[in-house]
Amino acid sequence: MGTVGVGLVDCHCHLSDPDFDHDLDDVLEKAKKANVVALVAVAEHSGEFEKIIQLSERYSGFVLPCLGVHPVQGLSLEDQRSVTLKVGLDFSPRFAGSDEQKEEQRQVLIRQVQLAKRLNLPLNVHSRCWRLHINLYVSKGADKVLLHAFDGRPSVAMEGVKAGYFFSIPPSIIRSNQKQKLVKQLPLTSICLETDSPALGPEKQVRNEPQNISISAEYIAQVKGISVEEVIEVTTQNALKLFPKLRHMLQK
């Protein structure tokens, strides 16, 4: 068996977004030149599932599919083929104007956690309502959890660290005091990298791309006082713990 090559893994990006429809080949080629070795392509909603699967087949060995639903949607048996599930709670007034709607979301999320455990899939979490997320996942025994773009307090994040969960850091860290404080507190062994492309880039209102993941790695290295190479090596190993199916992509 070959050894795992060291490169950057983007654990959360949206390649199916219409912003990439006209130049995705170029975007991915630039990512490869920037030492990105694998991408986890995340669906925004069930209508993107087929497109995500097609992208993972078209770019086999580079793009890993992540299917999931917004908490106001359901998840059919047909869509349980994902290699990872995107889940989350959203209690903003648009989606949860009443206690009943919040409880409905919570029940959907519980079923998703149970499904992930049964199928041995990791959870790729949109971590709005972060304290509720961590407490719920711990109480339901979820063990493979990535909290993407976590926007809570570092003290709450440490509860996730104790549970063995991972936190992915986007390039927007260079303009986010909250993300900078978070990275200072998190151990490197709990950190993964992401771009959330086309969102959360280094500049507001400018399309983000997977190649920008190096910005996350460089900033983390600066904060931790370590080399970029160490950040890449450890975060890639963390990604492999979460997404074992990435390993065959990284074999050299």
Binding site members for a divalent metal cation: 12, 14, 126, 148, 196
Is omega for the bond preceding 154 within 30 degrees of 0, making it cis? Answer: no
Q: Which residue ranges are tagged as binding site?
A: 12, 14, 126, 148, 196
**Burial of 240 by CB count in 10 Å (0-12 exposed, 13-18 middle, 19+ buried)?**
middle
Amino acid identity for residue 92 in this structure:
S
Who contacts 51 (Cβ-Cβ below 8 Å, separation ≥6)?
16, 43
Residue 118's Cβ-count burial label (10 Å; 0-12, 13-18, 19+) is exposed
Q: Which two tokens stand for residue 119?
A: 């199928």
- The order of strands in the sheet holding 85-88 is 8-13, 36-42, 63-68, 85-88, 123-126, 145-148, 166-169, 191-193
